[in-house]
């Protein structure tokens, strides 16, 4: 889009239209101490060709995909996106119906959301799913609030192995809601400590929140945590930061989860510097009226034709504020559509096949790295495509050395876990070929890192 500035005549005409004499009068409500009166410190105007060349030079300073062999994960995953996803997503029909508020003209949007909800239910093993949350972290926070509404309790047990960003978001949501947060430690295998959970649970507990996989890539024993939580009538909230794992492992619903949330970025959405991403939210049908957001349902019209409608919308825009389950107001509809197209393309066979592909490559990388002198795998619980590595010295230094060899070797854990200064999180997806993994291991074993 071209930038077309207003000239002085344009400005005067607009001021005249709203009955204001000068531009200063328009902004007189803004205190003078807050106004910036001096000219902006901008360079002189340049020719368009020169400007584009300068922007291209700046862009080359970024490390783009393909510049590095990347083994980064920690909640955002580099998966291949078939071109057809963006092609279908770019059809103008999906842009014209912005929201599903006008069902008679938004049937395409409503159907896409309905299909998204259906796929999430199948993936998570739950009875009902809502329409597109913001991201995995805010979905997890909404799940905690929902568990508190359902149980009418305020105590929440949060796994220390849950994604740190999710934990921070949960605590931010509940900062002024008189919540009681309790940390659930993880054991030497990287999974939650069942003995500690037994001690922490009581009749005041609303929910237990764990990752699946957790922040360390570990697949938690959901059946055990579900049994312990339900002995005290607490809800089990499961946060899935890498949903591709559900193509290989049992669904949280099968293992006793009450609420399943997560991040859908793995399904057809690029990394894009961190967003926009896509949260999902699924629960048992018995708790449907406490679900945040909105539900799209399938119906027929007076002539028996198939149609889609907003079935349940307990947001503050629809019902009284004090009765609302959430103040979620926008819709990640286009991101949900991308995920829907991606999942439909892979289908019942493609998704497990891709999950096995990720799992196998991660196993290969784990075995190779564990065989390098000075490096080990501190956690031995089952993992999906992500795992923790312990090195012979500070992880930041190791990763810096790897980067000098065009390898992004992982994410250092010390910012969140100061006692893990030598540990870093490595992620392997289908995007990492065997040559990439071998080059990574060679850099570690050759002492360059």
- Percentage of the chain modeled with pLDDT above 90: 75
The pLDDT of residue 65 is: 64
| Residues in Cβ contact with 78 at an 8 Å cutoff, skipping those fewer than 6 apart | 65, 70, 72, 271, 429, 431
Kindly indicate the confidence band of residue 2, based on its pLDDT and cuts at 50, 70 and 90: low
Location of structure tokens 């349902």: 297
In 3D space, the residue among 161, 216, 273 whose CA is nearest the CA of residue 425 turns out to be 216
Location of structure tokens 């030497």: 188
In angstroms, the CA 92 to CA 112 distance is 14
The pLDDT of residue 326 is: 74
SS3 165: helix
Tokens of 15: 């001021």
Kindly indicate the confidence band of residue 198, based on its pLDDT and cuts at 50, 70 and 90: very high
Instruction: Please name the helix (run of DSSP H) or strand (run of DSSP E) that holds residue 424, with its range, or none.
Output: strand 423-427
Tokens of 313: 């919308």
The pLDDT of residue 131 is: 82
Buried b (16+ CB within 10 A) or exposed e, 419-439: ebbbbbbbbbbbbbeeebbeb
Q: What is the mean pLDDT of the chain?
A: 91
**Is the whole model's pTM more than 0.85, yes or no?**
yes
Kindly indicate the confidence band of residue 381, based on its pLDDT and cuts at 50, 70 and 90: very high
The pLDDT of residue 32 is: 87
Residue 104 has pLDDT above 90, yes or no: no
- Give the other-Cβ count within 10 Å of 116's Cβ: 30
The pLDDT of residue 42 is: 87
Q: In what order do the strands lie in the sheet with 386-390?
A: 386-390, 423-427, 411-412
Phi, psi of 303 (to 5 degrees): -100, 10
Instruction: Please name the helix (run of DSSP H) or strand (run of DSSP E) that holds residue 299, with its range, or none.
Output: strand 294-300
Describe the crossing of helices 164-173 and 136-151 by its angle, rounded to 10 degrees.
50
Residue 396 has pLDDT above 70, yes or no: yes
The pLDDT of residue 179 is: 94
Tokens of 341: 């197209």
CA distances from 228 to 74, 134, 146, 223 (A): 28, 30, 20, 9
Q: What is the pLDDT of residues 303-347, one digit of tens each?
A: 999 999 888 877 666 666 666 777 676 668 889 999 999 999 999
Q: What is the pLDDT of residues 214-232, one digit of tens each?
A: 999 999 999 999 999 999 9
In angstroms, the CA 396 to CA 413 distance is 9
88 burial level (CB within 10 Å; 0-12, 13-18, 19+): middle
401 burial level (CB within 10 Å; 0-12, 13-18, 19+): middle
Kindly indicate the confidence band of residue 109, based on its pLDDT and cuts at 50, 70 and 90: confident
For the ranges 295-309, 324-338, 350-364, 402-416, the lowest mean pLDDT is seen at: 324-338
Separation of first and last alpha carbons in the chain: 45
The pLDDT of residue 319 is: 66
Q: What is the pLDDT of residues 233-277, one digit of tens each?
A: 999 999 999 999 999 999 999 999 999 999 999 999 999 888 899
Number of helices followed by number of strands (H, E) in the chain = 13, 14
Kindly indicate the confidence band of residue 1, based on its pLDDT and cuts at 50, 70 and 90: very low
Range list of β-strands (E), 221-283: 235-240, 259-263, 279-283
In angstroms, the CA 80 to CA 345 distance is 13
Better-scored residue on pLDDT, 95 or 134 = 134
| Residues in Cβ contact with 23 at an 8 Å cutoff, skipping those fewer than 6 apart | 11, 15
SS3 434: helix
The pLDDT of residue 449 is: 58
The pLDDT of residue 202 is: 96
The pLDDT of residue 102 is: 65
The pLDDT of residue 316 is: 63
CA distances from 151 to 179, 233, 342, 396 (A): 13, 8, 36, 43
Which domains are present in the chain? 69-80+348-446 (3.90.1150.10), 83-342 (3.40.640.10)
- Percentage of the chain modeled with pLDDT above 70: 92
For the ranges 3-17, 86-100, 183-197, 401-415, the lowest mean pLDDT is seen at: 86-100
Q: What is the pLDDT of residues 140-167, one digit of tens each?
A: 999 999 999 999 999 999 999 999 999 9
Residue 383 has pLDDT above 50, yes or no: yes
Tokens of 364: 């290969």
In angstroms, the CA 364 to CA 429 distance is 11
User: Do residues 137 and 166 touch, judged by C-beta distance below 8 A?
Assistant: yes
């Amino acid at each position: 889009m071209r930038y077309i500035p207003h000239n002085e005549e344009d400005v005067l005409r607009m001021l005249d239209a709203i009955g204001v004499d000068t531009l200063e009068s328009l902004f007189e409500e803004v205190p003078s101490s807050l106004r910036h009166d001096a000219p902006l410190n901008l360079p002189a105007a340049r020719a368009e060709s020169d400007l584009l060349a300068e922007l291209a030079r700046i862009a080359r300073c970024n490390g783009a995909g393909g510049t590095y062999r990347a083994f980064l994960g920690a909640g955002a995953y580099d998966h291949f996106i078939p071109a057809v996803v963006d092609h279908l997503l770019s059809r103008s029909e999906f842009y014209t119906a912005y929201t599903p508020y006008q069902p008679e003209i938004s049937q395409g949007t409503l159907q896409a959301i309905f299909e998204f909800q259906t796929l999430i239910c199948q993936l998570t093993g739950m009875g009902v799913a809502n329409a597109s949350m913001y991201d995995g972290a805010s979905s997890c926070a909404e799940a905690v609030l929902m568990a508190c509404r359902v149980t009418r309790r305020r105590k929440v047990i949060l796994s220390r192995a849950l994604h740190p960003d999710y934990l921070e978001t949960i605590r931010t949501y509940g900062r002024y809601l008189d919540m009681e947060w309790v940390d659930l430690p993880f054991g030497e295998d990287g999974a939650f400590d069942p003995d500690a959970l037994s001690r922490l649970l009581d009749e005041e507990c609303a929910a237990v929140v764990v990752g699946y996989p957790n922040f360390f890539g570990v697949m938690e024993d959901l059946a055990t945590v579900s049994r312990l939580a339900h002995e005290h009538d607490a809800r089990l909230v499961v946060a899935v930061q890498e949903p591709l794992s559900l193509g290989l492992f049992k669904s949280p619903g099968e293992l006793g989860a009450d609420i399943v949330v997560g991040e859908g970025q793995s399904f057809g959405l690029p990394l894009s510097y961190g967003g926009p991403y896509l949260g999902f939210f699924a629960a048992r049908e018995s708790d449907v009226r406490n679900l945040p957001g909105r539900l799209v349902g399938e119906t027929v019209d007076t002539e028996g034709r198939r149609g889609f409608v907003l079935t349940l919308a307990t947001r503050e825009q629809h019902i009284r504020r004090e009765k609302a389950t959430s103040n979620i107001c926008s819709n990640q509809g286009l991101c949900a559509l991308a995920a829907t197209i991606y999942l439909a393309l892979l289908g019942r066979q493609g998704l497990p096949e891709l999950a096995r592909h990720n799992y196998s490559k991660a196993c290969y990388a784990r075995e190779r790295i564990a065989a390098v002198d000075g490096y080990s795998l501190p956690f031995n619980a089952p993992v999906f495509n992500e795992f923790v590595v312990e090195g012979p010295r500070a992880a930041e230094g190791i990763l810096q050395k790897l980067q000098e060899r065009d390898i992004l070797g992982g994410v250092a854990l010390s910012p969140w876990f100061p006692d893990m200064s030598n540990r870093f999180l490595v992620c392997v997806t289908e995007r990492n070929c065997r040559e990439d993994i071998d080059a990574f291991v060679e850099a570690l074993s050759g002492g360059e890192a």
